Amino acid sequence: MRIKPRIALMSALVTVGLLVAPAARASSPTIDPRPSTAKLTVELHKLAVLSHGRIRVTPIGRTNENRPVWAARVGHGKLKIQYVTQQHGDEPLGTPAALEFLRTVGVGNSAWQRKLLSEVTVDIVVRANPDGHEHNWRYNYDPTATPEYGEAGKGYDINRYHDPAVAPQDNPATEAGLVQRRYAAFQPDIMVDYHMQGRYKDAAGKEITASTLWPTNSAVKPADVNFAKQIAVLVQRSINGTGGNVSQYPGGDYQGIARNGYGLLGSGSVLIELSDIPGREQTQISDALASMLAIVRSAADGSLRKIDPAAANTIPPRGPALPGTLADEDEAA
């Protein structure tokens, strides 16, 4: 019997005000693809308790509707990796993948976990745009917005406001400023931004399940572009290895896009776009998790740096939208 550990866990959850009814995953392996921000808060703090403090959960600020933006950190190694999920509120699947990543590497005390966490520190901004999630729209919430990127009276497109020339305190997109501050304090070697896209096919007519891209702004240092290309190749291999089909994303070169902005600051900076495929959500979450784990493990053991960056150029271009489906709102993420 495991009565005492269970009582200890319940007591700990009461201490942080998070004792809740048993989660649905206790009776089903299905992962909630769109947890509310309230549920996300509970799940993050449960993971912190279950990890015995190895997962550190911190609010990094609040949205314009006063919702918390959470970051979670695990590990204590020299190599620093940062993941950001759900800058666009209606692109949710990177967020449950982040929860599963934290559960996989942070809950438990196996030899491989101890070794990995001694080599890397992983910081995750888990759902950068809670207001957009709750409104089920792309932007943050700012009815006073008259944005260059976004929609007047609705909000800013957060993923256009990471220009390194704009200080966080001057950033009109509240949540982008929070990500900027977290990045500046952490100074990651690798920065990966998780989004979602529409439905597309490749040249052979097979459906694309995800797309990836490195910095394309001409001012990013060639060495940093090459490092990002190595990451992109690893992303392709990790997702294709689980049955996915990864293409190059047709992204733009604007410096305010996170992929470009953090590349300009010297990180290996990569975009991952999970396709919005009905009936494949659980697999898409698993694919995102596979990419997160592959990046961390390969960075830790040094194999990431042995990938030929030129292989990124062989990642096939994304083809046209599938008939009867909508293309992305834009092609510049």
Q: Looking at residue 47, what DSSP letter applies?
A: H
Confidence of residue 329 (pLDDT cuts 50, 70, 90): low
**What's the pLDDT score for residue 19?**
35
Name the residue among 188, 185, 210, 206 with its Cα closest to residue 333: 210
Give me the phi and psi of 82, to 5 degrees please: -125, 135
The residue ranges of DSSP E strands in 86-223, in sequence order, are 120-126, 150-151, 155-156, 190-197, 210-213
Confidence of residue 9 (pLDDT cuts 50, 70, 90): very low
Asked if the model's pLDDT at residue 310 lies above 80, the reply is yes
**131-142 average pLDDT score:** 98
Residues with Cβ < 8 Å from 330, sequence gap 6 or more?
none
**208-228 average pLDDT score:** 98
**38-65 average pLDDT score:** 98
- Measure the CA–CA gap between 147 and 154, rounded to whole angstroms: 9
Confidence of residue 148 (pLDDT cuts 50, 70, 90): very high
- Measure the CA–CA gap between 144 and 47, rounded to whole angstroms: 37
**150-166 average pLDDT score:** 98
Confidence of residue 27 (pLDDT cuts 50, 70, 90): very low
Query: What is the pTM for the complete model shown?
Result: 0.91
Give residue-wise pLDDT tens across range 52-103: 999 999 999 999 999 999 999 999 999 999 999 999 999 999 999 999 999 9
Give residue-wise pLDDT tens across range 222-250: 999 999 999 999 999 999 999 999 999 99
Asked if 295 and 81 count as a contact pair (C-beta separation under 8 A), the reply is yes
Residue with the two structure tokens 């960056």? 309
Give residue-wise pLDDT tens across range 276-301: 999 999 999 999 999 999 999 999 99
- Measure the CA–CA gap between 226 and 223, rounded to whole angstroms: 5
Asked if the model's pLDDT at residue 23 lies above 50, the reply is no
What is the rounded end-to-end Cα distance, in angstroms, of the chain? 51
**What's the pLDDT score for residue 330?**
57
Q: When comparing pLDDT for 4 and 245, which is higher?
A: 245
